[in-house]
A and B are shown apart, each in its own frame.
Chain A
Amino acid sequence: EVQLVESGGGLVQPGGSLRLSCAASGFTFSDHYMDWVRQAPGKGLEWVGRTRMKANSYTTEYAASVKGRFTISRDDSKNSLYLQMNSLKTEDTAVYFCARDRGGSFSEIDYWGQGTLVTVSS
């Protein structure tokens, strides 16, 4: 059974940093692109970014709203995905979901984690 479990959320002040983790199990983590998607309170889904596989040099893509502030990384040896969030703004307050892509290029999300809440407030 595919499982994605996020952790690391919490309350942080504007301008601060936070690192989210996503522990994956039930599949060969290294064979999949992985995404982060967020949802502000009462709002819709917003794609945050993606990391590709080792075969693609672990390259990443980001939404314009987080580019330069957020960094996605992965550790295939630990079956883990990470989201380093710096220079946080109040508008980054959201539930952050880790998500698995079914395959490689032009691949859609097929599994989601339960999410972790990040609150940016003074």
Chain B
Amino acid sequence: DIQMTQSPSSLSASVGDRVTITCRASQGISNYLAWFQQKPGKAPKSLIYAASSLQSGVPSKFSGSGSGTDFTLTISSLQPEDFATYYCQQYKSYPLTFGGGTKVEIK
């Protein structure tokens, strides 16, 4: 199985900050990497697919990069609605696997 490791597991940031979350795969997954946002008590929301492509309707303040084993999700200017938990997921091979999540909290 491909293990997905996210870092940090949590972070505190202020409104307006630039935030970067890292996701590392235990083996190469090309660009078969997705990012999701989840707020407490809600379903996840799809943000990015193919490592860097925005899902329809997702604001451009979100961006993704990487290929192979190392990936990043960047939020260019954190807004109050962005405080949430973010998950990466590889879909290169079965079983599909998620990272452990990164909780973005208000400083």
Q: Which A residues lie at the B interface, using CB under 8 A?
A: 35, 37, 44-47, 50, 61-64, 97, 102, 106-115
Contact = CB atoms under 8 A, between A and B. Distances in A.
A62 B91 CA distance: 13
Given A47-B95, A63-B95, A111 B46 contact: yes
Contacts, number: 58
Interface of B: 1, 32, 34, 36, 38, 42-46, 49-50, 55, 87, 89, 91-92, 94-101
Contacts of A115: 43
Nearest to B45: A112
B43 A108 contact: no
B43 A114 contact: yes
B34 to A, nearest CB: 4
A113 B46 CA distance: 12
Contacts of B97: 47
Task: Determine chain B's interface SS by DSSP, over half rule.
Answer: loop
B44 A112 contact: yes
Contacts of B89: 45, 47, 108-109
B85 to A, nearest CB: 8
15 contacts: A35-B96, A44-B100, A44-B101, A45-B36, A45-B98, A47-B98, A50-B96, A61-B94, A61-B95, A108-B34, A110-B49, A112-B44, A112-B45, A113-B43, A115-B43
B10 to A, nearest CB: 12
Contacts of B32: 106, 108
Contacts of B50: 108
Contacts of A61: 94-95
